[in-house]
Amino acid sequence: MRKEFEAVRELLMRGTRQVKLNDLWYDIHRRLKVGEVTERGTLALTEDEKGQLRFWIKDETGIDPLVREHLPGFTRTSIAPTQFQKASPRAVFGRMLRLARYGGGTINLRSGPALVPHGAILSVEPEYIDLSKEVLLVVDNGALVRDWRSLTLPKELNEALIVFRGQERDALTLMSVIDEHQPKLNVGFYDFTPQGMKSGLLAEHDALLIPSRWIAMNAQDPFFQTHNHAELFMSQVDALVYLQEFAPKALHPLLSHMKAHKMALAQEHLIKQDEPLLLMPLKLVM
């Protein structure tokens, strides 16, 4: 949360209502549903949304960004909380997997079966579930995981276990759990952007979930005209360079198309507009 803390503090201290739409601010915008992306490549925020950002940082870190200049460092010698101090939510829930079953089926835990109602997700310690028996769909958008019934997935994922990827430390924990359990199929669903594709490649998924019409998406396509963010693509050129060097060769036509059309599409737009999705293998085409 250090980068988020510093970005929000700078916004609040400057008193401005606009910030440059870089990867960090786009992620905050997508996660919290705050701000409006402008044609100038900025994120415009209201005063109420700035207040929401301030309280979000306070909830996540316990620190008011208008009071403290930096997040305090945490060391192994830090004093344990007294009986009147609360451990941070990350410390309490950090290792828990947040998941749901696509289609609403039962999630079989070692402690008993669980059903997750619409609008909710299940938080569970990794030790209580055997991922080796699962087809896994890792999603890095918490709102889509929570509203899992809005997803329309390929038939290969009809009974997939949907897992929230989380940010930074949570994502590393999930990768470690997946590496330990080795699910039957490990699929990632990210924004269809250079950074999203890079994140999927680095996470070592078996396949990525991408728009099946990607080759038809260009300036003449109505969906593309409305929902593409060329300015976001331009901020992720470094990720595209990485992909062109390290991605499987079978992905190069897709990457060339993405580059030619400055393609950057958000997961939620693909879902809300019912864009069909397909599995793009990664490991089988190496």
Q: How many other CB atoms are found less than 10 A from the CB of residue 125?
A: 14
The pLDDT score that the predictor gives to residue 85 is 42
* Average pLDDT score over residue span 177-196: 91
Q: Mean pLDDT: which of 11-20, 79-88, 173-182, 184-193 is highest?
A: 184-193
Domains and CATH numbers, the chain: 2-61 (no CATH), 90-285 (3.40.1360.10)
pLDDT over 90 at 94, yes or no:
no
Comparing C-alpha atoms, which of 190, 236, 192, 235 is closest to residue 214?
Answer: 192
Of all residues in the chain, the percent with pLDDT exceeding 90 is 34
> pLDDT tens digits, residue range 205-253?
999 999 999 999 999 999 999 999 998 899 889 899 999 999 998 899 9
- In the prediction, which pLDDT does 166 show? 77
CA distance 235 to 258: 14
Going across the sheet that includes 18-20, the strands are 18-20, 42-44, 36-37
pLDDT in tens, 104-117: 888 988 888 898 88
- Going by the DSSP 8-state scheme, the letter that residue 78 receives in this structure is P
Q: What is the pLDDT of residue 74?
A: 36
The predicted structure's pLDDT at residue 190? 93
| C-alpha span between 253 and 262 (Å, rounded) | 14
Give me Rg for the CA atoms of the chain: 20
Tens-place pLDDT, residues 116-133: 887 788 998 888 888 888
90-104, 168-182, 240-254: segment of lowest average pLDDT: 90-104
Q: Classify residue 71 by its DSSP letter.
A: P
pLDDT of residue 80 exceeding 50, the answer is: no
pLDDT of residue 263: 96
Quick one: average pLDDT of 19-38? 87
pLDDT at site 2: 84
- What is the reported pTM? 0.69
At CA 272, angle to CA 269 and CA 274, rounded to 5? 105
Closest CA to 7 of 34, 33, 25: 25
Looking at per-residue pLDDT, the higher value among 258 and 250 belongs to: 258
Residue of 195 and 33 predicted with greater confidence = 195
How much of the chain exceeds pLDDT 70, in percent?
Answer: 88
Question: What ranges make up the beta strands (E) of 72-167?
Answer: 97-101, 107-109, 112-114, 122-124, 135-139, 161-164
Q: What is the pLDDT of residues 33-76, one digit of tens each?
A: 888 888 788 899 988 788 889 878 887 787 878 776 666 653 33
